[in-house]
Amino acid sequence: MEIKQQKIQKVFERFVKNKQIHETVLFVENTNGDFSYSNGYEGKGRDTPFLMASITKLFTTTCIFILKEQGKLSLDDKITKYFQGDTLNKLHIYKGKEYSMKLTVSNLLFQTSGLPDDFEEGNNNTKKRVIHQDKQYNFDDIIMLTKKHKPHFAPNLDNRAHYASVNFDLLGKIIEIITNSNLADVYEQFIFAPLELKNTYLPKSGESFVPTIYYKNSILHRPKFVESCGASGGAISTTSELMIFIKAFFGGKLFNKTVFHELEVNNKLQFAMFPIHYGAGFMRVPLSGFSTLFMGKGELIGHSGSTGSFAFYYPREDLFFVGDVNQIANSSLPVRFAMRLAMA
């Protein structure tokens, strides 16, 4: 085994000793595929389906970029172009002033809207409810729950960003309105068919396999909730197919990758998500700062999911890290895993 593979193997072996880890899969490859490493723990392999959770946001971002390229939307569009007043009314009121009608597609994509995140925020947030029972939420439910929380800042205020899945729920609905199709069909047309992905999908109610997830030591099966997540976190894939997608996303196979140079702005997310920054629909994780005691170099770009999934590109070494640690109790695990792999 060559030195690079040995280093990755050591990180993998150390990581799976974590008491929160019950099963894991990892796939590492460079752009042209002449370097490849994969490993599984407790029966998980490269073709095992897993919940992508928020990695789904990269699919939604892809659709936004494609529609932008087709001239069907602008990131400067105010979202009043797509939603009626009932949806937006009182969605964003900050310090007594309403900003709901001033929100743009860009605010949603860059997480600069200031909107709150019901999944994580509040004493009875969605995450806590989901742990105890499976429940279906529609788009109107998500908007209603968001309106119960206070926004964190006015849009575009001091380049601040706050991670909230509702931003991508709104983007998903915009995609459906523009295309006059459901999101699953748009994903199929824009992503799955061009990349020939056969085992990546948005689950349909009662028809599709939905993998289980771990919460600490308990196994949860939450198909209704997963089906509710759609554009912000509802897709299912395998590491083999997710590797194909993440390479295509950053390699320009689905849209013109010059968009990354046009939209280079990124901002720090809330302290709870340190050290993650957010750019144009994807995470940026610097490896050269305080979080790594200044021992790392470069950055990771991609996304992680609250269920333990991750798909990152490490441009400095031309390596893609894709995998799943399947643990919803600690959403920092996949990012920490990817950071250790890159630093190795």
Q: Read off the pLDDT of residues 227-280 as tens digits, 9 standing for 90 and up.
A: 999 999 999 999 999 999 999 999 999 999 999 999 999 999 999 999 999 999
Give the residue extent of every domain in the chain. 3-343
**What is the model's pLDDT at position 320?**
98
Domain boundaries 3-343, CATH class? alpha beta
Mind listing the pLDDT tens digit for each residue in 30-51? 999 999 999 999 999 999 999 9
Which residues, 6 or more positions from 81, have their beta carbon under 8 angstroms from its beta carbon?
none
**What is the model's pLDDT at position 157?**
79
What average pLDDT does this structure show over 136-142?
A: 96
What average pLDDT does this structure show over 289-295?
A: 85
Across 319-338, b (16+ Cβ under 10 Å) vs e yields bbbbbbbbbbbbbebbbbbb
**What is the model's pLDDT at position 295?**
86
Mind listing the pLDDT tens digit for each residue in 87-134? 999 999 999 999 999 999 999 999 999 999 999 998 889 999 999 999
Mean pLDDT is lowest, of 19-23, 286-290, 311-315, for: 286-290
pLDDT at 177 over 90: yes
**What is the model's pLDDT at position 59?**
98
Summary mean pLDDT of the chain: 96
pLDDT at 206 over 80: no
* pTM for the full predicted model: 0.97
Beta-bridge partner residues of 104: 78
